[in-house]
Homo-oligomer: A and B are copies of this chain.
Amino acid sequence: MTKEIKIGGIKIGGGNLIRVQSMTNTDTKNIKSTVAQIKRLEKAGCEIIRISIPDKESAEAIKEIKKKINIPVVADIHFDHTLAILSIKNGADKIRINPGNIGSEEKVLEIIKEAKKAKIPVRIGVNAGSLKKDIKYNLQIKSNNETANKMVASLMEHLEFFEKNDFFDIVISLKSADVNETVEAYRLISKVRDYPLHLGITEAGTEKSGLIKSAVGLGILLYEGLGDTIRVSLSAAPEEEIFAAYRILDVAGRRKHGVEIISCPTCARTEIDVIKLAKKIEQKTKYIKIPLKIAIMGCVVNGPGEAKEADIGITGSKNFGVIFKNGKIIKKVPKNKVMKIFEKELENMIKENKR
């Protein structure tokens, strides 16, 4: 069980819901486009938004941005501690730094003091690719993975500095572009500290291969019970990160949210256009937040038998389409009408569930 931390109005850690984050990729200073992107992300289900603060104007923009959005803002700081301080003064709900690139302990201490005054947490984010060269910390427990050991040792140096200065309002991240390094690093830190863990695979890649890397890496950790907040990093529109994050949480058994589609891969037995229908249903139900299982099965080998757990489903047979609810057949309809009738049934079910 991790420690509970508050980010704006949202609690993470300590058994709270695992929260989904993303990051804007607009020019932060362009308040209009940044706010518009955050609004789209809120609609998709984003619960905490990180914004990079490369300069003074960006730090000052936080004030205006915060007025127009509904979720907490995390200021992402590199190199310059004065930007962290300015972000806090402009209302950032959390600061994310890698203390290793801030320049000196004195400068980190200035951030700590300001965060303490504002009562906001700091995420200490150590990345495999930007480790200090002279890590002195001696780990008591070690992993087989040398990079993971270095990441955790580096983090421990930072943690002890924060703790020595009486600051415990901390979230941790230990990201690498390598799944094994990431998994080993998070496993290791969870044995020695109880700060909430923000999970992510850094520079994971494109919409497709990045999705796979994040799903494997975060999936392993979440399935083990680790993780209090997650971000799926993708070189894609940030909305895609939100969809992926919820799917990963759902299939790893950590948070039910939205539609799970169960659909067969199709084969020579297939009697309805599963691929087209599944894609259409997925698109249509993308932003639904209630948990719902929808099955789309090509033939009688798979459906409804293999989809009896589904709330609603459709299966093809030689002469007609079959619609089923909770494992029971409710309708047999002509094949050319099956898609329309199924969509109508689904809409009704969603309406009922919303009530």
Q: Are B211 and A268 in contact (CB under 8 A)?
A: no
Tell me which residues across on chain B come within 8 A of A308, comparing CB atoms.
129
A90 lies within 8 A of chain B by Cβ: no
Distance (whole angstroms) from the CB of A34 to the closest CB of chain B: 8
Which residues of A does B touch, CB under 8 Å? 23-29, 51-54, 58, 76, 78, 127-130, 177-180, 183, 202-213, 215-217, 219-220, 223, 233-238, 241, 243-244, 247-248, 251-253, 260-270, 274-275, 278-279, 282, 295-297, 301-302, 305-309
Do A263 and B129 have beta carbons less than 8 Å apart?
no
Chain B residues, Cβ within 8 Å of A178: 309
Complex-state Cα separation, A115 to B72, whole angstroms: 63
User: Would A266 and B306 count as touching, CB distance under 8 A?
Assistant: no
Do residues B235 and A203 form an inter-chain contact, with CB atoms below 8 A? Answer: no
CB < 8 Å neighbour of A302 from B28, B129, B262, B279: B129
B215, A306: Cβ atoms closer than 8 Å: no
* Min CB–CB distance A179 → chain B (angstroms): 5
Question: A25-B267, A212-B215 are known contacts; what are 8 more A-B pairs with Cβ within 8 Å?
Answer: A54-B268, A129-B305, A177-B309, A203-B295, A205-B282, A220-B223, A234-B265, A237-B275
A207 to B263, CA, bound (A): 10
Given contacts A179-B251, A309-B177, contact A216 B219 (CB under 8 A): yes
Closest 3 CB pairs of A and B: A129-B306, A216-B219, A215-B215
Of listed A58, A76, A211, A268, residue having the most chain B CB within 10 A: A268
Which residues of the partner chain B approach A274 to less than 8 Å between Cβ atoms?
A: 235
Q: Pick the contact of A263 from B54, B203, B248, B262 — CB < 8 Å?
A: B203
CB-CB < 8 A to A207: which residues of B?
279
B268 touches A52 (CB 8 A): yes
Question: Is B306 within 8 A of A180, CB to CB?
Answer: no
- A1 → chain B closest CB, angstroms: 20
Please tell me if the beta carbons of A263 and B306 are within 8 angstroms of each other in the complex.
Answer: no
Q: Which residues of chain B come closer than 8 Å to A241, judged between CB atoms?
A: 265
Q: Which residue of B lies closest to A236 (CB)?
A: B275
Known: A179-B252, A268-B28. A203 touches B302 (CB 8 A): yes
Q: When chains A and B are docked, how far (Å) is the Cα of A19 from the Cα of B296?
A: 28
**How far apart are the CA atoms of A254 and B237 in the complex, in Å?**
30
Q: A223 touching B183 by the CB < 8 A rule?
A: yes
CB-contact partner of A203 in B216, B243, B264, under 8 A: B264
In the assembled complex, 21 residue pairs joining A and B whose CB atoms fall closer than 8 Å, in A order, are A24-B268, A52-B269, A54-B269, A129-B302, A129-B307, A177-B306, A203-B262, A203-B295, A203-B306, A204-B262, A208-B244, A208-B247, A209-B261, A211-B212, A212-B215, A212-B251, A213-B247, A216-B252, A217-B251, A235-B266, A237-B275
